[in-house]
Amino acid sequence: MLIDDASTKGTEDAGKPAENGSQPLVRRTFAIISHPDAGKTTLTEKLLYEGGAIREAGEVFAKGNRRRARSDWMAIEQRRGISVTSSVMTFENDGIRFNLLDTPGHEDFSEDTYRTLTAVDSAIMVIDAAKGIEAQTLKLFEVCRLRGIPIITFINKVDREGLSPFALLDEIGDKLALDTVPMSWPLGMGGMFRGIYSFEEKRAWLADKASNAPCPAAIAVTGLDDPALLAGTGMRAGDSSLDDAALAADAFPEFLPAAFQSGDMTPVYFGSALRNYGVSSLLAALMRHALPPQPQPALPEPIDPAADHVSGFVFKMQANMDPNHRDRVAFMRVCSGTLKRGMKLDNSRTGKKLGLHNPIFFLARDRAITEEALPGDIVGIPNHGTLRVGDTLSERGGIQFTGLPDFAPEILRRIRLNDPMKIKQMRRAMLDLAEEGIARVFRPLVGSNWIIGVVGALQLEVISTRSEAEYGLPIDFEATMYETARWLDIPDDALNKRFVAAQRANLAEDEGGALVFLARNAWELARTQKEWPDVRFLTVRERV
């Protein structure tokens, strides 16, 4: 570890839950968001390595498996333990416990990813220095913004030719409407890469120009004109990247924690995940700047992490890989209290008590020892369908966490059943999957063909694989005439009646009975919106 004492500065008042003195570790619960290929997997591995969770980079994601992350969900072929635990990775460093939640970032861009972001307190946004902000980064960023999740930016692959650091910072500022503050600077890029200079830590990691060697130990520097810096890089005073660094140090605003925490400012770190440059600074930034467990929005009032009773919400469901048992693992974020094995918690949706006999604690060191989880931690709760995404579990009852988003599906399909006699079973299976949060089921007000709606194409694959494996129902999908769906918010009953009467043929109910408008195309949607200015057509809906 190259982090000195100063790196933990700012964590003293980091919101450690007072009542939970039995376990002194504070938490950083975070996710990494990025477009595919920006380097999320490589960075994850290096963070785990830098944080001391693994001894050798490469331990977690053996090369062959790396690209298979997308099949986690289907994973008939995968061992379940692996895919469940890789959803939550934890490590401890300098008295802080890090919970890194995996967001499946590849082409299986699903609601699961969005919802996982509701369970974190901060996010690292990885950007490929050659590509800048890409489509998926933007989408994920928007979800973070919706939730007010502060973002630390890591500009990766500076060891390759890329856009200039100024251009990258401008792009983040323009496209994301964020104030950027470079906390470090690349000393050259691509073939000219000579290391990273940290303004924040007054240190530099210097690259040997002759090789692709991994990052050496940091050297302390007094400034950009430090002779050691010049000697170590072979640069001369006046070299363009030194000039740029000096310019950047003057040109950008000071880092303001409050602006970062409100989601208006992002500290930007440059590095190379592959060669381990900038990773230790990122880890230090998580300690210094990332937020400890935050109060969570709930009814009747937000829940403070320091509250002395246990509460949490389910943000993700993972299917068991054993097709004979419809087991699921529900992932719950603990929001307050000290959760222990054997506890009985109230499920606010059903009003029933649930005994936590076999919770999976995701642990940093020794899986066998810790039998409790604190705010910010994630526990896996095996169940047979008693839990759903969005459920609130609490010791006292009377609480409902809010704000878990549902996203308007971008793909709508009709189901073709090979055996028409099994329509009832098929409907049951689809409702099950909808309850898990994998798909939306739309029942048109006119006609009897149910429509399945998903956010990403991979979800369709998951549905057909699971329908066959778990329910013995082989299914195909066929196109519908609809292209998109919107939930409706209609302010009064009279308007509701008129709208339903006029638009009946384009309306459906989702699995929870909410009214949905199905549009054949964007033009039709826009026209209907224009005709009904008082009706709100929603692409994102918050549960409860």
Nearer to ligand GDP, 66 or 353 (CB): 66
272 is a site residue for ligand GDP (CB under 6 A) = yes
By CB under 6 A, the residues from 415 to 444 that bind ligand GDP are none
> Does residue 408 contact residue 300 with C-beta atoms inside 8 Å?
no
195-198 sheet: strands from edge to edge: 184-186, 195-198, 203-206, 219-220
Question: Cα separations (Å) of 524 from 482, 484, 493?
Answer: 10, 10, 24
Q: From residue 350, give the alpha-carbon distance in Å to each of 213, 332, 391, 437.
A: 57, 17, 9, 17
Can you tell me the distance from the alpha carbon of 301 to that of 285, in angstroms, rounded to the nearest whole number? 31
Per-position x/- string for 131-170, each x denoting binding to ligand GDP as judged by CB under 6 A, each - no binding: -------------------------xx-xx----------
Q: Is 277 or 442 the residue whose CB approaches ligand GDP more closely?
A: 277
- 158 annotated ligand-binding residue: yes
Using CB under 6 A, pick the residue from 256, 274, 445, 490 that binds ligand GDP.
274
308 has binding-site annotation: no
Rounded Cα distance between 455 and 109, Å, is: 7
How far are the Cα atoms of 19, 79, 130, 441 from residue 103, in angstroms, in the given order?
31, 19, 23, 24
Interactions with ligand GDP, residue window 14-73 (CB under 6 A): 34, 36-42, 66
- Residue keyed to tokens 């499920």: 347
Strands lying side by side in the sheet with 151-156: 88-93, 96-101, 26-34, 122-128, 151-156, 265-270, 179-182
# chain residues binding ligand GDP, by CB under 6 A: 16
Taking the C-alpha atoms of residue 484 and residue 336, their distance in angstroms, rounded to an integer, is 38
| Residue 96: other Cβ atoms inside 10 A | 20
85 is in an annotated binding site: no
Give the separation between CA 362 and CA 21, rounded to whole angstroms.
20
Tell the smallest beta-carbon distance from residue 129 to ligand GDP (Å). Answer: 8
Compare residues 273 and 298 and give the one whose CB is closer to ligand GDP.
273
How far is CA 215 from each of CA 206, 211, 233, 472, rounded to the nearest angstrom?
Answer: 8, 11, 13, 53
Q: Give me the least distance between CB of 204 and ligand GDP, in Å please.
A: 18
Nearer CB in complex with ligand GDP: 193/482: 193
Residue closer to ligand GDP, measured from CB, 51 or 437 = 51
104 is in an annotated binding site: yes
Quote the least distance from Cβ 392 to ligand GDP, whole Å.
32
Closer CB to ligand GDP, residue 157 or residue 486? 157
What is the distance, to the nearest Å, from the Cα of residue 203 to the centroid of all Cα atoms in its chain? 31
Which of 305, 273, 269, 304 is closest to 286 using CA atoms?
269
User: Helix, strand, or coil here: 14?
Assistant: coil
User: In the complex, what is the shortest distance from the CB of residue 43 to ligand GDP, in angstroms, rounded to a whole number?
Assistant: 7
Nearer to ligand GDP by Cβ, of 144 and 516: the residue is 144
Chain residues 454-513 in contact with ligand GDP, contact rule CB under 6 A? none
CB of 110 vs ligand GDP, minimal distance in Å: 16
Residue 159 assigned as binding residue:
yes
Is residue 201 near ligand GDP by the rule CB under 6 A? no
Window of 146-154, 267-275, 380-388, 449-457 that interacts with ligand GDP by CB under 6 A: 267-275
Six-digit token string for 33: 């968001």
Residue with tokens 């369970």: 119
273 binds ligand GDP (CB under 6 A): yes
Q: CB of residue 120 vs ligand GDP: minimum separation in angstroms?
A: 17
Residue 40 annotated as binding? yes
On whether 39 is known to bind a ligand per the annotation, the reply is: yes
Asked if residue 74 binds ligand GDP (CB under 6 A), the reply is no
36 labeled binding residue: yes
| Cα separation of the two ends of the chain | 44
Nearer to ligand GDP, 34 or 392 (CB): 34
Which residues contact ligand GDP by CB under 6 A? Answer: 34, 36-42, 66, 156-157, 159-160, 272-274
Binding-site annotation, residues for GTP = 34-41, 102-106, 156-159
